[in-house]
Amino acid sequence: MLIRQMTVGMMGVCCYIAACEKTKQGVVIDPGGDEIEILAFCNQENLSIQYIINTHGHPDHVCGNAKLKEATGADIVMHAADADFFGQDSVEQFFSQLGLPQSPPVDKRVEDGDIITFGNETLTVIHTPGHTPGGMCLYSPPNLFSGDTLFAGGVGRTDFPGGSTRQLLDSIKERLLSLPAETVVWPGHGYGGEHSTISKEKTGNPFLTGGW
Looking at the DSSP bridge assignments, the partners of residue 75 are 51
53: part of which helix (H) or strand (E)? Answer: strand 48-53
Of the listed ranges 17-21, 51-55, 85-89, 145-149, the least confidently predicted one is 85-89
pLDDT, tens digit (0-9, with 9 covering 90-100), for 157-175: 999 999 999 999 999 999 9
Residue range 64-90: average pLDDT? 96
The answer to whether residues 61 and 32 touch, using CB atoms and an 8 Å cutoff, is: yes
The set of residues, in sequence order, having a beta carbon less than 8 Å from that of 208 and lying 6+ positions away, is 155, 169, 172, 173, 177, 201, 202
Of the listed ranges 34-48, 94-108, 153-167, the least confidently predicted one is 94-108
**Which residue type, as a one-letter code, is found at position 21?**
E
The answer to whether residues 164 and 85 touch, using CB atoms and an 8 Å cutoff, is: no
Residue in 55, 205, 29 with CA at minimum distance from that of residue 127: 55
Residue 210, pLDDT above cutoff 60: yes
Q: Residue 95: what pLDDT?
A: 83
Residue 41, pLDDT above cutoff 50: yes
Residue range 183-207: average pLDDT? 96
Q: What share of the chain is helix, strand, coil (3-state, %, to 5)?
A: 25, 30, 40
Q: Residue 92: what pLDDT?
A: 83
Q: What is the pTM of this model?
A: 0.96
pLDDT, tens digit (0-9, with 9 covering 90-100), for 98-144: 788 899 999 999 999 999 999 999 999 999 999 999 999 999 999 99
Q: What is each CA distance from 111 to 14, 125, 153, in whole angstroms?
A: 23, 7, 27
Q: Quick one: 47 exposed, middle or buried, by C-beta within 10 A (0-12, 13-18, 19+)?
A: buried
pLDDT-above-70 percentage for the chain: 99
Q: Residue 212: what pLDDT?
A: 44
**What is the rounded average pLDDT for all residues in the chain?**
95
Counting other chains too, the contacts that 156-162 makes at CB distance below 8 Å and 24 or more residues apart are: 156/130, 156/131, 156/188, 157/131, 158/130, 158/131, 160/58, 160/94, 160/95, 160/132, 161/90, 161/91, 161/94, 162/85, 162/91, 162/132, 162/133
Q: Domains in the chain and their CATH numbers?
A: 2-204 (3.60.15.10)
> Beta strand pairing status for 150-151 and 154-155?
antiparallel
